[in-house]
Amino acid sequence: MHQQTLHQVPRIVVLISGGGSNLQALMDAIAQGVIDATIELVISNTPDAKGLLRASKAGIPTQVVNHLEYSSREAFDRELIHVIDDKQPELVVLAGFMRIFTPQLTDHYHGRMLNIHPSLLPLFKGTNTHERALEAEVDQHGASVHFVTSELDGGPIVLQSLVPVLGEDSPATLAARVLVHEHIIYPIAIKWFCEGRLNLSHDQVTMDGQPLPAQGLAFQS
């Protein structure tokens, strides 16, 4: 569904589980005036996520919703929805958030939740994407920004960036090169959304009203 922006400057809530380098890229893009939006809250499901410190340093409120304190996935997701909706965001950004959602949550945020995944989706959904790409001996790897649906890492793709695999690559070297691309394409896609250019309607992504191909747009550096 097309989401009307409720606030003059779009409000974003970011969910993290770890280092928060994608969160940092978003904070930097906002600070530099590249994206006109505010981050209202950064939520982590784990108290020791380093990204929480990045947010605090930038003066952004943080909150831990620790999944270990909830008896079920449903109860955890109910609390997440409560905490997120309290901020009335136009967009929810998953930036290395490593929990699987219930359909109740993904349906609730249909068309207004984005994720970045370290592979060229639909290849290598799930975890350990770089190891699996090397095992599969692919020539090209990369990163994808997609809308979140109930299918894990399976929502409609917005933007992808190709990263050539090198003969000497280890999972760590490949991950590091992919991460550089993540930091470029995620702010671009978020900017498009905040400008009202990017929409999801009936599982079809549109950009400026034009339907995107299944693989989304290809980022050209």
Residues in the site for ligand GAR, rule: CB under 6 A?
Answer: 16, 18-22, 51, 95-96, 116-118, 179, 182
Nearer to ligand GAR, 91 or 210 (CB): 91
Q: How far is the CB of 141 from ligand GAR (least distance, A)?
A: 12
DSSP states of 129-163 as a string? HHHHHHHTT-SEEEEEEEE--SSTT-SPEEEEEEE
Contacts of 168 (CB under 8 A, 6+ apart): none
> Which single residue brings its beta carbon nearest to ligand GAR?
96
Q: How far is the CB of 221 from ligand GAR (least distance, A)?
A: 18
**How far is 115 from 144, CA to CA, in rounded Å?**
8
The single residue listed with the structure tokens 């400008």 is 195
Nearer to ligand GAR, 169 or 182 (CB): 182
**How far is 76 from 102, CA to CA, in rounded Å?**
9
Contact 29, 35 (CB under 8 A): yes
Nearer to ligand GAR, 126 or 211 (CB): 126
Q: How far is the CB of 128 from ligand GAR (least distance, A)?
A: 9
Nearer to ligand GAR, 5 or 67 (CB): 67
Q: How far is the CB of 115 from ligand GAR (least distance, A)?
A: 6
**How far is 127 from 147, CA to CA, in rounded Å?**
18
Q: Which residues participate in catalysis according to the annotation?
A: 117
